[in-house]
Amino acid sequence: MQDVQNTPAGIPLAIDRVGVKDLRFPLLVQDRERGHQHTVSRVDMFVDLPAHFKGTHMSRFVEVLQDFSGILDYPNFKNLLREVRQRLQAHRAHLSFSFPYFLHQNAPVSASASLMDYQCTLHGELDDADQLRMFLQVQVPVMTVCPCSLAIADEGAHSQRAMVTMNCRFAGMLWLEDLIHIGQHAASCQVHSLLKREDEKFVTEKAFATPTFVEDVVRNAAHQLQSHELISWFRVEVESFESIHNHSAYACIEAPGSQTGAGQ
């Protein structure tokens, strides 16, 4: 049969990334407390395409993924990228796993147990020199109380949920739990999945005792990321879903970490 993908392109322009998006695949990820946990990932897989090829072979991405063990660690991740690059005869391969990660959580007063989920993404790029660049992203929901509103109001202040998104390049084993902890403690209060009345009282009073602007939250998180011994670069973004405004408040810091020049 004719290999149409390998015929000359009508417009000979190189393509930076071509491939498949939104595949679903089961994963086994490392859990610091319990060893590992099962989850389901959304997978994106891309390669570069030279100008002289009309197209890539999309089915090969799926074939490579079907042979993957599903155990997400550094050796398996790099080998999967290497296999994508080789099977597609590319110079550079890109791979992303996006998945919910669950932590067991106890309410602050009643100690009621529940599971809290955090959206995570592991992204990697492998070039033809076999150099791997990895980035880990975690989204952590939090609560903020506005310092200005609290200072000027006779009663109360406006409060809202916010999202802390941290994207890091790193060396060694960077635990998801470390990033989640940083996000949780950057704002007025962390968000819980299960609260009794005594817990709600505690959470509300704690949040109002620690009012934070979106600028405070992004600086608090950046300070911790910058001092983390395994992080060589980071970008932290905070979006506050304002409760009394018809818009969100936003702040971002991108900077090198303590391990500048290092990283996988």
Q: Quote the pLDDT of residue 5.
A: 53
Domain extent at residue 139: 131-264
Please give the Cα distance from 36 to 39 (Å, whole number).
10
Residue 3 lies in a domain: no
What is the H or E stretch that residue 66 is in? helix 58-66
In this structure, are residues 190 and 184 in contact, taking their beta carbons and an 8 Å threshold? yes
> What is the number of structural domains in the chain?
2
Q: Quote the pLDDT of residue 120.
A: 98
Q: What is the pLDDT of residues 60-92, one digit of tens each?
A: 999 999 999 999 999 999 999 999 999 998 999
Same domain membership, residue 179 and residue 151? yes
Q: Quote the pLDDT of residue 156.
A: 87
| Percentage of the chain modeled with pLDDT above 90 | 84
Same domain membership, residue 181 and residue 69? no
Q: Quote the pLDDT of residue 262.
A: 47
Q: Is the pLDDT of residue 119 over 70?
A: yes
Q: Which of 96, 126, 156 is the last residue of a domain?
A: 126
Q: Is the pLDDT of residue 135 over 80?
A: yes
pTM above 0.85, yes or no: yes
Residue 42 lies in a domain: yes
Q: Quote the pLDDT of residue 154.
A: 87
In this structure, what token pair is assigned to residue 203?
A: 């959470």
Q: Is the pLDDT of residue 147 over 70?
A: yes
Q: What is the pLDDT of residues 231-255, one digit of tens each?
A: 999 999 999 999 999 999 999 999 9
